[in-house]
Structure 1
Amino acid sequence: MKSSDPRPASRLERRKTRTRQALIDAARAFLARQGMAEVSIQELTEAADVGFGSFYNHFGSKDELFQAAIGDVLEEHGQLLDELTAGIEDPAEVFAASVRLTGRLAATHPQIARILTRTGLPYIDSDKGLAPRALRDIRRAMEAGRFRVKNPHVALAGAGGSLLGFLQLWLEHPDLVDENSPDELAEQVLRMFGMGQEEAGAIVRRPLPGG
Structure 2
Amino acid sequence: MTGPSAPEDARRRRTRQALIRAGEVLLAERPVDAIAVDDIVRQAGVAKGSFFNHFDDKPALARAVATEVRLRMEQRVGVVNAGRADPGERLVRGVCAFIQYARSRPAEARAMLRSQDRPVPPDHPLNAGLRADLAAGLASGQFRAPGLESAILVVSGVCQILLSSVLDGPRSAAQDQELAAETLSLVLVGLGLPADGAAQRARQAAGEIIVDSAGS
Aligned counterpart for 1:13 among listed residues 1, 9, 14: 9
Q: How far, CA to CA, are the matches of 1:145 and 1:26 in structure 2?
A: 45
Please name the residue that 1:161 is paired with: 157
1:55-94 aligned at under 5 Å gives the runs 55-94=51-90
Over aligned residues, Cα RMSD in angstroms? 2.7
**162 and 136 in structure 1: CA distance in 2 versus 1, 3 angstrom threshold:** same
Q: Does 1:102 align with 2:98?
A: yes
AA matched with 2:187: V
After superposition, give the CA deviation of every residue in 1:31-71 in whole Å (9 maximum; x if it has no partner).
Answer: 22212103221110100111223223322333322222222
The answer on 1:125 being equivalent to 2:122 is yes
1:190 maps to 188
TM-score (norm 2): 0.80
Q: C-alpha separation between the residues in 1 aligned to 2:47 and 2:17?
A: 14
Percent pairwise identity = 25
User: What code does the residue aligned with 1:122 have?
Assistant: P
CA distance in 2, matches of 1:101, 1:66: 23
Q: Are 2:42 and 1:46 equivalent residues in the alignment? A: yes
Between the aligned partners of 2:182 and 2:117, the Cα distance in structure 1 is 22
CA distance in 1 between counterparts of 2:155 and 2:117 reads: 14
Deviations 1:18-41 (A, max 9, x none): 111010011122222212103221
Aligned residue type for 1:96: V
Aligned length: 202
Gaps of 5+ in 2: none
In 1, Cα distance between the equivalents of 2:108 and 2:142? Answer: 30
Secondary structure (helix, strand or coil) at the match of 1:87 reads: coil
Partner residue of 2:136? 140
Counterpart residue type for residue 196 of structure 1: P
Residue type of the partner of 2:190? M
Q: Which amino acid aligns with 1:138?
A: L
Compared CA separation, residues 12 and 30, structure 1 to 2 (3 A): same
Question: For the structure 1 residues 138 and 69, does the alpha-carbon distance in structure 2 shift closer, same or farther, using more than 3 Å as the test?
Answer: same
Asked if the contact 1:23–1:45 (Cα under 8 Å) also holds between the matched residues in 2, the reply is: yes
Alignment deviations for residues 71-103 of structure 1 (CA, whole Å, 9 cap, x no partner): 222222223322332321112211111111123
Encode CA deviations 1:168-207: one digit per residue, 9 max, x unaligned. 2222244497141323322221112111122122223154
Moved more, 51-60 or 17-26: 51-60
